[in-house]
Amino acid sequence: MNRVAFIGLGNMGAPMAANLLKAGYALRVFDLNASAVAAAVAAGAVAATSAIDAVADAQIVISMLPASRHVEGLYLGDDGLLAHIPDGVLVIDCSTIAPASAKKVAAAAAQRGLAMIDAPVSGGTAGASAGTLTFIVGGDASVLERARPVLAAMGKNIFHVGDSGAGQVAKLCNNMALGVIMAVTGEALALGSAHGLDPAVLSRMMAVSTGRSWATEVCNPWPGVLENAPSSRGYSGGFGNDLMLKDLGLAAEAAMQVGAPIPLGELARNLYAINSQAGNGGLDFSSVLKVMTKAV
Amino acid sequence: MNRVAFIGLGNMGAPMAANLLKAGYALRVFDLNASAVAAAVAAGAVAATSAIDAVADAQIVISMLPASRHVEGLYLGDDGLLAHIPDGVLVIDCSTIAPASAKKVAAAAAQRGLAMIDAPVSGGTAGASAGTLTFIVGGDASVLERARPVLAAMGKNIFHVGDSGAGQVAKLCNNMALGVIMAVTGEALALGSAHGLDPAVLSRMMAVSTGRSWATEVCNPWPGVLENAPSSRGYSGGFGNDLMLKDLGLAAEAAMQVGAPIPLGELARNLYAINSQAGNGGLDFSSVLKVMTKAV
Amino acid sequence: MNRVAFIGLGNMGAPMAANLLKAGYALRVFDLNASAVAAAVAAGAVAATSAIDAVADAQIVISMLPASRHVEGLYLGDDGLLAHIPDGVLVIDCSTIAPASAKKVAAAAAQRGLAMIDAPVSGGTAGASAGTLTFIVGGDASVLERARPVLAAMGKNIFHVGDSGAGQVAKLCNNMALGVIMAVTGEALALGSAHGLDPAVLSRMMAVSTGRSWATEVCNPWPGVLENAPSSRGYSGGFGNDLMLKDLGLAAEAAMQVGAPIPLGELARNLYAINSQAGNGGLDFSSVLKVMTKAV
Amino acid sequence: MNRVAFIGLGNMGAPMAANLLKAGYALRVFDLNASAVAAAVAAGAVAATSAIDAVADAQIVISMLPASRHVEGLYLGDDGLLAHIPDGVLVIDCSTIAPASAKKVAAAAAQRGLAMIDAPVSGGTAGASAGTLTFIVGGDASVLERARPVLAAMGKNIFHVGDSGAGQVAKLCNNMALGVIMAVTGEALALGSAHGLDPAVLSRMMAVSTGRSWATEVCNPWPGVLENAPSSRGYSGGFGNDLMLKDLGLAAEAAMQVGAPIPLGELARNLYAINSQAGNGGLDFSSVLKVMTKAV
């Protein structure tokens, strides 16, 4: 199980592929972006001429794509990859997509007799580079066991949360909570600041109190509080506002599907949409603080 | 600095006073509830006949009362305690009240020449019993230094966050974040459950991911996920829904005062109000999950 | 232009078809519900054995179906109606569906050379029975002119709001506003009532002030204020809570598609979802007031 | 009943006083703004040197002030007007203030033996100038009857909604609905526009459909749709964003007092706060549309 076809070398896929190469896997890679492919080749990968070419000799197929339509477009249809992947190959989709799409593709893979899991990740580009991603896996436990070594080469934690599509659901639940937590942390710091408190002092208190979170401990939205947070470098280089907006949109769709109320999740979605309208869609999602105050 | 007047022996005040007694402080206590006083006396305190009687011989006055009006009623006015506290006594109010009330009482104390800090707490009744409270202090740094030993006998962390009233602002900021985080964690677990995921598995994943919080780590709102959480004992015995509702109301008032937007904080306030309307005001605040799903 | 194929005899479709019969149109009708068909036949329609049978001899096709998937299922695909409708026939879809679905079906019709408009309605079952519906039309103005007489037999107002799909967008915009207005009117009446005001007196004042709306004038959510409102007969017989929930879900999807923030629209969606969770999904949507107060 | 003391000649008070003069009332006026007083004098009023001076000879006292603290400051306290108003004089406060403040002042007036009503208005500066205001009255019905002639000289509709303070509650309920309705109308027009619809066409449709309101009929938030709306003159000259923000804050306080959930009202409050943060606090409140779209 050494030969991997890796499809999608974006901000997340590229460092994930790099970690596989470091771990000794043989990679055939494909991406529409030639310079991304060139960088992977420089690191030891072989460039495939197409996705179909990439999987020809593979034992494992890994995809990391932006959205449902790309994943469905890649795998499904008469021209789709599922028609070309050799028997016995393990398929792992790491994209964050709609649970319904993940189920659809997994069902098609099953019909082809291929083992497939959905394995979206948590940890961002920093985690992808450091090889400390969390994989949130939906699919058969036995298939996950086969995938475990290759996932372990890219991440630190692996959670099996249920059947096909469950990985996507769990990822969306986590990111919905994260999106809300970041925005309310911004609200709290802006409120404290407007009352004359130092956001750094307030953050340190909250970080060891019941209001603590990844937003107070790792990615504080107020500039200068945490040196390594995107907010301290002009909100650049983290998890983009519009990516959070996408995930909250997927969460809203998943909620509509089952009639679940998510009032805070959908309100947060709108706060990120308002931040995007204001021209901050490309900044780190912690820039949603700008909706609450003109001080940052 | 050994003689303490302790006013207010409620769910929080009683265990705090007990810890002071254990640490060797001499306490004169006052509360309208005779059985609360009797319990403190059994643990070594002396019963005062009134608040004024309690402070007659004190070196430190500590109050722990339900709301702004009780604190203002205790200290202010012609009959108020500030007119009766001996010179040189240190005054510590641990109640969670409106920042404006805290400032008003502190200003009146200053006019009397008395040193006073606002020191609301985080940690709940469990933290009060264990002596692991966090004190969030507003007032002069030098006054806090005088108060530090007696606070240390009741808690673990002490944060100095600014001038008079700042302790209250910071407490409200923390609790606003907490109220929102609890509610969105409920949304996430209800959404996952409606999609067939096991809330316990989902919670374990979130607890080590970016969506982690005190709600996933300590006080999970889904029954049975964390054995010691209020949700696992019928939502009894924690921090009441209507106490969170009160704190979010204070946060809203503080936000209005300075024109700060807190959309998520105010929406959460309404979710707790809806839960209260449904008859769950006396349950732990994690019961807000009941607004999102009929499964609990 | 006298021969109409009418597909879909539900709560809305049945009275619309009845009004066409009264106006002298010859109808061939189809619905899966045999008793709905029987009622139409009793009123003068001819029963078709299938949708394809219904259109065989038609000059106009009108469909009134519950959701996007039904409309796409009816018209599209190898078996779809578009493959069977004779050349030159005018196609009118009155269903409320996703704008994207409406565009998709209209594009397929255009490819077949058929003229089609989307013409969702406003006015509810009462308007359908009385023949006072408002039609909100997307498509070519010239096609609308051909459709005008048959629409006029079912309604009072006809608005041409843009190209294919625009009728659906406008309908969703109107219903999103309506859903929010109804819910906030409930908030206002519950707030006034909790302060001791008579909701009837408060409603009469609001109905002639700046807070006036269809909710204060026609469909007051407080029982007993307006005799003919659903609230005065146990919230029965109006526009169902879950139908409003569906429309607000379509509005949310339409908003996500273009990145438009609709914070109030999505919050209202969640209030109707909470009302549905509480078991009131089948009641009139004005029962969302039950989320705000236990007094009704 | 011809001699009126009129306190407060702001944007609302000035035209109200002018209408009283036109109707033949004799006015002694007071305001801190000398030019406002001069304008009233030019129209026939007599300038008082103080509020106390204004009431010396009055049969009716009318006040129109910005906020609770001004009204309490005017009437209450040892120096307050209630101590100086002659016996038998009728007191009418037209300010929009907290219901609790209105009750407090009315109770103090009752203790003095003075008849008083709260009579906040709806209709804006346009209604004040045209003499078409709506008065929303709390207090004894018999007192309202005495006040009716003088109110009729300034307005068109008079609603008696309950006891002292009820006028304020009803006004806040109406304005809360209005604030939400305006904002969701903005959401709807921005959503339609983003989908390519003409906001003017969409508005015309909504104005005769179930989504209709004062926002579609009189004060459309989209520039150019209604010629006389503030939006068509740069959002100038209507009811200011920060005045709506104040009223929604009063509504939130009134809701907290009785535990009533007003989720949409409080979310709207935050949207106006966000608009204010963006620098639009002085514009007409329909400028909240700017939060939803960059197109205006």
Percent of chain C at pLDDT exceeding 70:
100
The amino acid at C68: S
For residues C84 and C151, membership in a common domain is answered with: yes
Mutate to test the interface with C, among B266, B269, B270 (most CBs of C within 10 A): B270
DSSP state letter for D61: E
Confidence band of A187 (pLDDT split at 50, 70, 90): very high
Overall number of domains in chain B? 2
CA distance C49 to C55: 11
Chain C neighbors of B291, CB-CB under 8 A: 274
**CB of A253 less than 8 A from some CB of C:** yes
CATH of the domain at D204: 1.10.1040.10
Question: Which pLDDT belongs to residue A76?
Answer: 97
CA distance B123 to D191: 45
Q: 10 Å Cβ neighbour count for D21?
A: 18
Say if CB B146 and CB A177 are below 8 A apart. no
Picking from C138, C164, C190, the residue at the C-terminal end of a domain is C164
CA distance A145 to A166: 16
Tokens representing D262? 């007003």
Nearest by CB: B274 against C263, C267, C291: C291
Picking from C164, C194, C215, the residue at the C-terminal end of a domain is C164
Quote the crossing angle between the two packed helices A34-42 and A13-22, to the nearest 10°: 20
Question: Which pLDDT belongs to residue C85?
Answer: 97
For residues A28 and A142, membership in a common domain is answered with: yes
Contacts of A77 (CB under 8 A, 6+ apart): none
A277–D267 CB contact, under 8 Å: no
Say if CB D65 and CB D43 are below 8 A apart. no
**Per-residue pLDDT at D177 exceeds 90:** yes
Contacts of A239 (CB under 8 A, 6+ apart): A124, A125, A284, A285
CA distance A228 to A36: 26
Contacts of A119 (CB under 8 A, 6+ apart): A92, A93, A94, A135, A136, A137, A138, A147, A151, A167
**Per-residue pLDDT at A126 exceeds 90:** no
For residues A89 and A156, membership in a common domain is answered with: yes
Question: Which pLDDT belongs to residue D26?
Answer: 98
Say if CB D258 and CB C191 are below 8 A apart. yes
**CB of D261 less than 8 A from some CB of A:** no
**Mean pLDDT, residues B219-233 taken together:** 97
Chain C neighbors of D192, CB-CB under 8 A: 169-170, 173
- Per-residue pLDDT of D4-39, as tens digits, reads 999 999 999 999 999 999 999 999 999 999 999 999
Mean pLDDT of chain A: 96
**Per-residue pLDDT at D1 exceeds 90:** no
CA A189-A194-A195 angle, to 5 degrees, is: 100
Nearest by CB: C174 against D159, D169, D209: D209
**Mean pLDDT, residues B32-43 taken together:** 97
The phi, psi pair for C26, rounded to 5°, reads -95, 120
For residues C135 and C254, membership in a common domain is answered with: no
The amino acid at D151: L
Mutate to test the interface with A, among C244, C247, C256 (most CBs of A within 10 A): C256
Neighbouring chains of C at 3+ CB pairs under 8 Å are A, B, D
Question: Which pLDDT belongs to residue B124?
Answer: 84
**Sheet strands (E) in B106-231:** 115-118, 121-122, 133-138, 155-162
CA distance D187 to C263: 8
For residues C111 and C247, membership in a common domain is answered with: no
Chain A (91-110) residues lying within 8 Å, Cβ to Cβ, of chain B: 99
Q: Count, in order, helices (H) and strands (E) of chain D.
A: 13, 9
Nearest by CB: A266 against C245, C259, C267: C267
**Per-residue pLDDT at D276 exceeds 90:** yes
Say if CB D80 and CB D74 are below 8 A apart. yes
Residue A37 within any structural domain of the chain: yes
CA D102-D103-D104 angle, to 5 degrees, is: 90
**Per-residue pLDDT at A285 exceeds 90:** yes
For residues C117 and C214, membership in a common domain is answered with: no
For residues D31 and D127, membership in a common domain is answered with: yes
CATH of the domain at D78: 3.40.50.720
**Sheet strands (E) in B232-281:** none
CA distance B248 to D154: 41
**CB of B292 less than 8 A from some CB of C:** yes
Q: Which of C104, C171, C246, C290 is catalytic?
A: C171
- Per-residue pLDDT of D196-228, as tens digits, reads 999 999 999 999 899 999 999 999 999 999 999
Find the range with the poorest average confidence among B27-31, B42-46, B122-126, C137-141: B122-126
Mean pLDDT of chain D: 96
Nearest CA in chain B to C278: B294
Chain D (153-192) residues lying within 8 Å, Cβ to Cβ, of chain A: none
Which residue matches tokens 């101590």? Answer: D83
Question: 3-state DSSP: chain B helix, strand, coil percent, rounded to 5?
Answer: 55, 15, 30
3-class DSSP state for residue C281?
coil
B277–C267 CB contact, under 8 Å: no
Residue A144 within any structural domain of the chain: yes
Distance from the Cα of C283 to chain A's closest Cα (Å) equals: 16
Neighbouring chains of B at 3+ CB pairs under 8 Å are A, C, D
Question: Which pLDDT belongs to residue C39?
Answer: 97
Q: Quick one: which of B135, B29, B116, B36 has its CA closest to B75?
A: B116
The amino acid at B25: Y
Question: Which pLDDT belongs to residue B125?
Answer: 85
Question: Which pLDDT belongs to residue C1?
Answer: 81
Element (H, E) at A72: helix A68-75
Residue C22 known to be catalytic: no
CA distance A197 to A200: 9
CA distances for B134 relative to A205, B97, B130, B164, D203, angstroms: 9, 16, 11, 17, 55
| Residue numbers of chain C with a pLDDT score lower than 50 | none
For residues C45 and C135, membership in a common domain is answered with: yes
Residue A296 within any structural domain of the chain: no
Question: Which pLDDT belongs to residue D238?
Answer: 86
Distance from the Cα of A96 to chain C's closest Cα (Å) equals: 17
Picking from C148, C164, C180, the residue at the C-terminal end of a domain is C164
CA distance C133 to C121: 6
ipTM (interface predicted TM): 0.94
Confidence band of B296 (pLDDT split at 50, 70, 90): very high
Chain A to chain C Cβ contacts (< 8 Å): 48
Say if CB C212 and CB C206 are below 8 A apart. yes
- Per-residue pLDDT of A6-33, as tens digits, reads 999 999 999 999 999 999 999 999 999 9
For residues C194 and C151, membership in a common domain is answered with: no
Q: 10 Å Cβ neighbour count for C201?
A: 17
Q: Quick one: which of C209, C248, C233, C240 has its CA closest to C296?
A: C233
C277–B263 CB contact, under 8 Å: no
C274–B274 CB contact, under 8 Å: yes
Distance from the Cα of A34 to chain D's closest Cα (Å) equals: 34
DSSP for C192-233? HHHTT--HHHHHHHHHTSTT-BHHHHT--SSTTTSTTSGGGG
**Mean pLDDT, residues B2-15 taken together:** 96
Nearest by CB: A267 against C249, C266, C274: C266
Q: 10 Å Cβ neighbour count for D141?
A: 11
Tokens representing D42? 């030019």
pTM: 0.95
- Per-residue pLDDT of C251-287, as tens digits, reads 999 999 999 999 999 999 999 999 999 999 999 999 9
Neighbouring chains of D at 3+ CB pairs under 8 Å are A, B, C
Say if CB C6 and CB C62 are below 8 A apart. yes
B122–A157 CB contact, under 8 Å: no
**Per-residue pLDDT at D125 exceeds 90:** no
Say if CB B116 and CB B164 are below 8 A apart. yes
Chain A neighbors of B157, CB-CB under 8 A: 208-209
CA distance B161 to B16: 22
A252–C266 CB contact, under 8 Å: yes
Percent of chain B at pLDDT exceeding 70:
100
Distance from the Cα of A53 to chain D's closest Cα (Å) equals: 40
For residues C217 and C266, membership in a common domain is answered with: yes
Residue A199 within any structural domain of the chain: yes
A188–B177 CB contact, under 8 Å: yes
Q: Which of B103, B104, B171, B290 is catalytic?
A: B171
Question: Which pLDDT belongs to residue A48?
Answer: 97
Say if CB C99 and CB C172 are below 8 A apart. yes
Chain B (42-61) residues lying within 8 Å, Cβ to Cβ, of chain D: none
Chain A neighbors of D293, CB-CB under 8 A: 277
Distance from the Cα of B193 to chain A's closest Cα (Å) equals: 10
Question: Which pLDDT belongs to residue D200?
Answer: 98
**Per-residue pLDDT at D175 exceeds 90:** yes
**CB of D259 less than 8 A from some CB of B:** yes
Chain A neighbors of C255, CB-CB under 8 A: 273
Q: 10 Å Cβ neighbour count for C145?
A: 10
For residues B17 and B103, membership in a common domain is answered with: yes
- Per-residue pLDDT of A60-114, as tens digits, reads 999 999 999 999 999 998 889 999 999 999 999 999 999 999 999 999 999 999 9
**Per-residue pLDDT at D78 exceeds 90:** no
Pairing state between β A115-118 and A90-93 = parallel
Chain A neighbors of C260, CB-CB under 8 A: 273
Range of the domain at B59: 3-163
D264–C293 CB contact, under 8 Å: no
Chain A neighbors of B292, CB-CB under 8 A: 260-262
Tokens representing B164? 């008079």
Residue A34 within any structural domain of the chain: yes
| Distance, CA of A218 to chain centre | 17
Nearest by CB: D270 against B245, B261, B277: B261
CA distance C28 to C25: 10
- Per-residue pLDDT of B122-138, as tens digits, reads 888 889 999 999 999 99
- Per-residue pLDDT of D186-199, as tens digits, reads 999 999 999 999 99
Question: Which pLDDT belongs to residue A18?
Answer: 98
CA distance C217 to C221: 10
For residues D117 and D174, membership in a common domain is answered with: no
**Per-residue pLDDT at B192 exceeds 90:** yes
Dihedral (Cα; B138, B142, B144, B148), 10-degree rounding: 160
**Mean pLDDT, residues A208-229 taken together:** 95
